[in-house]
Chains A and B, each alone.
Chain A
């Protein structure tokens, strides 16, 4: 019930969007995310986009993990 999966918006028509998830297409509602644009990723929950995914934030988070990995490496092996 908590589950929402990232889906790529391929086209928009009124309140509906054609999205792609792992290569599979389906039609979903965008009434909860009227600001959505083609090319956005949305969080898909029971047939509705419940939020537009912030790709910049996703990149920031991954960068954070990468920095953490470097730090952990240094702590484990000592700074070269």
Chain B
């Protein structure tokens, strides 16, 4: 008999009895109709996988947000990565999620099938190792991810700098979360009462960057972990704040997040990167929401080192990813969902990414 090894800090936060208690509390306390957005794709997946929406009272409405870094990467940026892959002498290293994402005309997977050297890596540590082992090639890491990932990429650049590795480059498409939330709130298109803040992004940036949402927009904010109990606790805390009419920023994920965040990680990020405008799929260009390499590290910048010709940007007709990412539509509102757009033949990134709303809906909410 194989006994499944207990995963500490995971299993305890999946306890069904405790979950029942939190759900009971939410049902008891919730009176007003409230709209809560889970920003993070990881939260969307957990909510879908554990059927949490169905356990909540009708007064609590859940919306998914744009917190899937792969989903919010615009076609014009995907096309850059794909174009770079076609350069001779270039090895593309990328997180696995990027492989099948359709750009305007192609994908990294397709160009790989055509002979491009595209390698999936788990970490920038692996990408750097590939650079060391292939000194005659240029190794480009596709920098996707929010503030949880950006410090790891910054660390790899500092490492490459210290080791005099001259064939390692980063194509930075990193994006920042608080600015896009501000953009969504200020545009007012989606009506929100509360925000489930991304737990691991906040492990890096802390809880303070979310305070603007409470003070300027009256949004209740709770920084949440990713286990079912964590998410339920966060919903309970949001409902409490909203019932009292006292929006503020609370940390539910106290074992993983400090109010000041991880200062060392922030330092590394600030050393290597600076803010830039970034284009978010479905949202447009948001000021100071992206990261580019600072001048001191420009020799690692793939944008500067290579002549990248991505070609004309085309958008997928009928794809509602943009609206879904803004929280104004759900996957089932899309005519392509489940018909011409499925995980096997996806049209847009929300169906491909492991954290995409459409993929989550498809896997967990359809028969």
Q: Is B17 an interface residue (CB 8 A)?
A: yes
Name the one of B20, B69, B155 contacting A32, with C-beta atoms under 8 angstroms: B155
Contact B7 A1, beta carbon cutoff 8 Å = no
User: Which chain A residues lie closer than 8 Å to B10 at the CB level?
Assistant: 5-6
Q: Is A38 an interface residue (CB 8 A)?
A: no
Q: Is A8 an interface residue (CB 8 A)?
A: yes
Task: Give Cα A31–Cα B262 distance, bound, in whole angstroms.
Answer: 12
Chain B residues with a Cβ closer than 8 Å to the other chain, count: 60
Contact A50 B203, beta carbon cutoff 8 Å = yes
Name the one of B8, B21, B95 contacting A65, with C-beta atoms under 8 angstroms: B21
- Which residue of chain A lies nearest to B177 when distances are taken between CB atoms in the complex? A2
Q: A1-B144, A41-B8, A51-B262 are in contact. Are A75 and B28 (CB under 8 A)?
A: yes
User: Which chain A residues lie closer than 8 Å to B125 at the CB level?
Assistant: 29, 47-48
Contact A1 B355, beta carbon cutoff 8 Å = yes
Contact A6 B8, beta carbon cutoff 8 Å = yes
- Which residue of chain A lies nearest to B12 when distances are taken between CB atoms in the complex? A62
Task: Give Cα A31–Cα B158 distance, bound, in whole angstroms.
Answer: 11
User: Which chain B residues lie closer than 8 Å to A41 at the CB level?
Assistant: 8-9
Binary per-residue interface labels of chain A (52-71) against chain B in the complex, 1 for a CB within 8 Å, 0 otherwise: 01110110111011101101
Contact B155 A72, beta carbon cutoff 8 Å = no
Contact B42 A2, beta carbon cutoff 8 Å = yes
Nearest CB of chain A from residue B56's CB, rounded to whole Å:
15
Q: Is B126 an interface residue (CB 8 A)?
A: yes
> What residues make up the interface of A, taking CB atoms closer than 8 Å to B?
1-6, 8, 21-23, 29, 31-34, 41, 43, 45-48, 50-51, 53-55, 57-58, 60-62, 64-66, 68-69, 71-73, 75-76
The 9 A-B residue pairs with the shortest CB-CB distance, nearest first, are: A47-B123, A2-B42, A69-B21, A58-B255, A6-B9, A57-B254, A65-B18, A72-B21, A72-B24
